[in-house]
Amino acid sequence: MSLIALKIRVAAILAGLGIAVLAALIILGVSSYFFGVLPTSGFFILMVGIVFVMDFIQYLISPYIIGHMYHLRPVDKNNPSTLWLQESLEKVCELNHQKVPELYIAETDMPNAFAFGSILAGRRMAITGGLLRILNRDEVEAVMGHEIGHLKHHDIALLLAIGLIPTLIFYFGYSMLFGSGRKNGGSILIVAVALIAISFVFNIMILGVNRMRESYADVNSAKTVPGATDNLQTALAKIVSYSSATQGRHIFRRKTATSSLSSMLMFSGDSDAKAYDHVAVLQKWRTMKVGIKDSIFSDHPHPAKRIQVLERIKEENLSK
């Protein structure tokens, strides 16, 4: 593992742990001070239980909902026209020492790919028809390496777990605001509003964790799939250029804009690539400086940052 990959992994783990610890301290302190009880009280246990059950049920059934929403069809292993897709996935999984997930094709022109699944549905990967039309086989395999990275590092479960934290804080503040806060007023109302505000701050922090996981998925592809440092760059430039040039004309973008699925896409969000000229866009990204304001509210790193990380990995490999 390269130094870049190690730093990204450690940063992601520390960020996740930091969010969990800070959230636990806030809830413990507020509930103890204002209610005189520890968070093991019946009210808090009930609230945690309800939120957990709702999220867990959503996690279990989401693969089936996704399959219906995006018209996913399993890749036919006996169809000569798609046989190469299954062979490529098996190759990438072997390089990553991972079991082969179920592979699906999403019937949409928007180029993208995503990993998803649950303990009920198993691990799955979807590639859109639009992606297959603009990428060659090597580029598709590089994208597969990215998505296998998500499955390999259990990113779906990680994001589900840390995503519970701001939800709990929000509902805790909401219940204080419209429950005991209306009766007691004063400081209870202030704390309730503060907790709701803190939940939004935590959501921003979680976006940061997701950006780190996306970077690590890129690193995984670059370190395990031969030629992926170049092929993933080209694939990303093609995906973003085509997506930007056709922005707003495809239902896939509209559906995923407010969906939790967007955090697992190969690319999510807007960019400055306004024309389908991926070569020029890629060249620009390699030297482009990206400020915090360009990505702080995004669940994916700015494409320029992703390209520059891949460039550094390529330089490291050349220097060995």
Tokens of 75: 């890749």
Q: Which candidate, 76, 243, 217, 230, places its Cα nearest to that of 138?
A: 230
Give the SS3 label for residue 74. Answer: strand
Size of the chain, expressed as the number of residues it contains: 320
The rounded distance, in Å, linking the Cα atoms of 222 and 146 is 8
Half-sphere CA count of 174, side-chain side, radius 13 A: 9
CB-CB neighbours of 11 under 10 Å: 15
Q: For residue 117, what are the β-bridge partners?
A: 123
Whether 94 sits among the annotated catalytic residues: the reply is: no
Q: Residue 64 to residues 61, 69, 164, 188, 263: CA-CA distances in angstroms?
A: 6, 9, 21, 42, 18
The rounded distance, in Å, linking the Cα atoms of 265 and 114 is 5
Catalytic residue among 147, 214, 311, 315: 147
The burial of 279, by beta-carbon neighbours within 10 Å (0-12 exposed, 13-18 middle, 19 or more buried), is given as: exposed
Q: Which residue has the tokens 């702080």?
A: 296
In the chain, how many H helices and how many E strands?
12, 4
Helix axes 42-69, 3-35, angle to 10 degrees: 140
The rounded distance, in Å, linking the Cα atoms of 272 and 191 is 41
Q: Where in the sequence numbering do the catalytic residues fall?
A: 147
